[in-house]
Amino acid sequence: MLKIDARKRLAEFEWQGRLEIRPGVTALFGQSGAGKTSLVKMVAGLLAPDEGEIAIGGTCVFASREGLNLPPERRPVGVVFQDGRLFPHLSVRGNLQYGRPRGSRSAPALEEVVELLELEALLGRRPMSLSGGEQQRVAIGRALLTAPDVLLLDEPLAGLDGERRGEVLGFLERLKRDSDRIIVYVTHRLEEVVRLADRLVLIDRGEVRSAGGLQDLLGRPELQAVIGQRTAGALLRCRIEQIDDGDGLSRLSCSGHTLFLPRLDLQAGSEGADIVLQVRAGDVSLSLEPPRRSSVLNVMSGTVERVVQEDGALANVVVNVGQTLWARVTRRSVRELGLSPGAEVYATIKAASLYSAD
C-alpha cells in the first residue's frame, strides 16, 4: 500500500491530496499541468512536500513532523520518466545494470527482464541509436531491475507515435500480468487508462477529484468534465473475435455483446487480443425496444445508471452495458422515453462511427 497525504505549494497552485494506492495498476489521470508529475516526484523523493506524510508498505519515507525525508536512493521506488533518461555514455546493458535493488522483493535476473521486454538484440547498443519505443523499453527494464515495491510510470508513452505506443503498451500489459506490485501510471490519455489500469485517480489542479475502480469512475460526470465535452464518450474494452468476417467488417466481443466495425488495420492472427474502442457519446442513440429492420449493426442492452442534465437542450445518459457507455441525447428524448436510473434500454451504435482508440 502506498499512502500519500501531502501538501506542496507549486508555482501555479497548491498540491493537496490524500491517496491510498493498492497493488495493481492505478492510473493517475488528468490534463497536462494538473500536478501529476509533482506527485510522482514527491513519491520518488525528488521533490519534498511542504507538509504531510508518505508511506510505502507501512514504512514512512517522508514525514514532515519528524523531519524525515528519505533520499530517492533509499526509497523502494522505481521511476520510468516521460523522456526515458537513459545514460548516453553507457550501453543498453550498462543502463540496465546501473540500478541497485532496494525494497522488500528480490531483484529479477537480467536475463528475465531482457526476455520480458525483448531487449536481447539491443544490449550492446548506445541509447542514442535506439528508437523512442526501444528507449522506453530499456527504461522500463532498468527500473524493474531495481526490484521496486512501487513502480512509477510518468507518461511513458507521451513522446511516441501511435505505432510505437502500441508496441510499448503491449509490453506494459505483459508486465501487469506478471506482477503484483504497486504500479502508478500517469497519463492524460484515457485509452491508455482503459487498457492498463485497474483503478483510476482523477487529478485536477493539484487536487484528487475522485478515486476508485475504473468502470465506476468512467461513468462519473466529473471525469467528463476533466476530459472535456468534445471528446467525451466511453471507451470499451473488447476482444477481437475475427479480423474480417467476409464483408470487410471486424467482429469484437464486448462484455457479452457482439460489435462490428470496419475492418481493423491489423494483421491476421490478432484474434483474441484486447483492444479499446472509442465511442463518442454523440454517436450513441437509445431506444426502449430493440430496433428492427435497421441499418444499425450494433445493439447493446443495458440499464440507465445516471442522467446528467446539461445546460441547453442536451443531456448525457450513462448506460451500464457491462461496461460504461455514454449517450448524448436531447432532453426531450429523456423526458419522452422516461429515461431515469434503472430503465432498461437498447443502445445502438453505427458500425461506421466506431474506431480503435489505440
Partner 1 sequence: MTPVWEIAALSLKVSLWAVACSLPVGIACAWVLARCRFPGKILLDGLVHLPLVTPPVVVGYLLLIVLGRNGWLGRLFHDWFGVTFTFTWKGAAVAAAVMAFPLMVRAIRLGIESVDRRLEEAARTLGATPTRSLFTVTLPLAAPGLLTGALLAFARCLGEFGATITFVSNVPGQTRTLPLAIYTLLQTPEGETAAAWLAGVSLALAIVALAASELAARAVRRRLN
Chain residues binding partner 1 by CB under 8 A are 44-46, 71-73, 77-79, 81, 83, 85, 87-89, 98-102, 126, 128, 142-143, 146
At its nearest, how many Å lie between partner 1 and the CB of residue 342? 49
At its nearest, how many Å lie between partner 1 and the CB of residue 26? 19
How far, in Å, are 30, 168, 190, 215, 349 from residue 234 at the CA level?
16, 23, 9, 10, 12
Closer residue to partner 1, CB minimum distance, 87 or 355: 87
Closer residue to partner 1, CB minimum distance, 83 or 118: 83
C-alpha span between 53 and 71 (Å, rounded) = 14
Closer residue to partner 1, CB minimum distance, 145 or 329: 145
Nearest CA to 287 out of 276, 305, 272, 299 is that of: 299
Closer residue to partner 1, CB minimum distance, 3 or 126: 126
Closer residue to partner 1, CB minimum distance, 31 or 97: 97
C-alpha span between 41 and 58 (Å, rounded) = 19
C-alpha cell of residue 100: 541497485
How many residues make up the chain in this entry? 358
User: Is the Cα torsion angle 116, 122, 126, 132 positive or negative in sign?
Assistant: negative
At its nearest, how many Å lie between partner 1 and the CB of residue 260? 46
At its nearest, how many Å lie between partner 1 and the CB of residue 109? 17
At its nearest, how many Å lie between partner 1 and the CB of residue 44? 5
At its nearest, how many Å lie between partner 1 and the CB of residue 96? 10
What's phi and psi for 264, nearest 5 deg?
-70, 145
195: Cβ–Cβ under 8 A, 6 or more apart, which residues? 169, 173, 237, 274, 276, 358
Is beta strand 182-187 parallel, antiparallel or unpaired with respect to 150-154? parallel
Closer residue to partner 1, CB minimum distance, 72 or 282: 72
C-alpha span between 78 and 98 (Å, rounded) = 13
At 311, which amino acid appears?
Answer: D
